[in-house]
């Protein structure tokens, strides 16, 4: 004897299309976040503000900093002035195409930054850039906009 239920019997289904949409959204979000992360190598200094600067892609670069007291830093490590040129020559041997960034504090003495620039040029590097803080990053519009 077969008893029929008054409630209709439906098989359960799992819809995977919304799941696929969610997974693609999460994948795209994680990719965008990982690409936007910038790893800063230098010490924290108060950068001067510039209006004509461009954002650089920092794949292979060397970062030197000069603080307001005149101390020189390689990445985040303080380095005596006498050791800057040998360090640069050693780096130049392994990666001669690396970009060199100078981060000078806004209140640093001009001579200290120039001394570092001369050491960088005498080591063989020709691609040297000064890091500045963009006006757009400070909420100030660039001239002409």
Burial class (CB in 10 A: 0-12, 13-18, 19+), 104: buried
Answer yes or no: is 37 within a domain. no
**pLDDT tens track of the chain, all 145 residues?**
677 777 777 777 778 888 899 999 999 998 888 776 666 666 677 767 766 655 555 457 788 888 888 888 988 888 888 888 888 888 888 888 888 888 888 888 888 888 888 888 888 888 788 887 766 555 555 444 4
Answer yes or no: is 134 within a domain. yes
Domain that holds residue 86: 49-138
Q: Any residues with CB less than 8 A from the CB of 56 and at least 6 apart, and which?
A: 99, 101, 129
pLDDT at 17: 87
- Residue 72 to residue 89: CA distance in whole angstroms: 16
Answer yes or no: is 6 within a domain. no
pLDDT at 145: 47
Answer yes or no: is 75 within a domain. yes
Answer yes or no: is 14 within a domain. no
Count how many domains the chain has.
Answer: 1
pTM over 0.75: no
Answer yes or no: is 119 within a domain. yes
Q: Are 113 and 87 in contact (CB under 8 A)?
A: no
Answer yes or no: is 43 within a domain. no
pLDDT at 28: 92
Q: What CATH number should be reported for the domain holding residue 131?
A: 3.30.420.270
Answer yes or no: is 7 within a domain. no
**CA 132, 136, 137: angle at the middle one, nearest 5?**
65
pLDDT at 91: 87
């Amino acid at each position: 004897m077969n008893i029929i239920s008054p409630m209709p019997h439906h098989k359960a289904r799992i819809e995977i299309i919304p799941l696929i949409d969610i997974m693609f959204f999460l994948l795209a979000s994680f990719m965008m976040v990982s690409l936007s992360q910038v790893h800063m190598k230098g010490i924290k200094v108060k950068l001067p503000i510039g209006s004509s600067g461009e954002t650089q892609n920092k794949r292979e670069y060397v970062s030197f900093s000069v603080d307001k007291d005149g101390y020189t830093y390689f990445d985040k490590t303080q380095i005596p002035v006498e050791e800057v040129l040998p360090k640069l020559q050693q780096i130049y041997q392994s990666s001669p195409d690396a970009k060199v960034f100078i981060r000078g504090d806004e209140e640093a003495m001009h001579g200290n930054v120039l001394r570092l620039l001369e050491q960088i040029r005498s080591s063989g590097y020709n691609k040297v850039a000064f890091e500045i803080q963009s006006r757009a990053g400070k909420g100030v519009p660039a001239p002409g906009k």
